[in-house]
Amino acid sequence: MRALYMLLLALCFLASQIAPGAGLVNLFRRYPEYDCAKKGGTCNFSPCPRFTKAEGSCYRGRARCCV
């Protein structure tokens, strides 16, 4: 029974292999909307409100991150 579990564990490890060179960077990629909110800003389709400045973009470049 123990050998069966070891074989199953080995099969799971083989099936979950990431392609060489892919790295872990793309697995945990954050969206620009998340980064904007983390900075305390908002994503606006219209110009930024007074006393804020545009720092980056959101929604594939259609909106601005206003901080």
Residue 24 in domain: no
CATH of the domain at 47: 3.10.360
pLDDT for 62 equals 93
Q: Which amino acid is at 5?
A: Y
pLDDT (0 to 100) of residue 25: 58
Number of domains in the chain: 1
Q: Grade residue 24 by pLDDT with cuts at 50, 70 and 90.
A: low
Is residue 59 domain-resident? yes
The pLDDT assigned to 28 comes to 67
Does residue 19 form part of some domain? Answer: no
Is residue 16 assigned to a domain?
Answer: no
Residue 20 contacts residue 26 (beta carbons within 8 Å): no
- 9 belongs to a structural domain: no
Which range of residues forms the domain containing residue 50? 29-67
- 8-11-16-17 Cα dihedral, nearest 10 degrees: 150
CA-CA-CA-CA torsion for 7, 12, 15, 18, nearest 10 degrees? -130
> What's the pLDDT at 18?
58
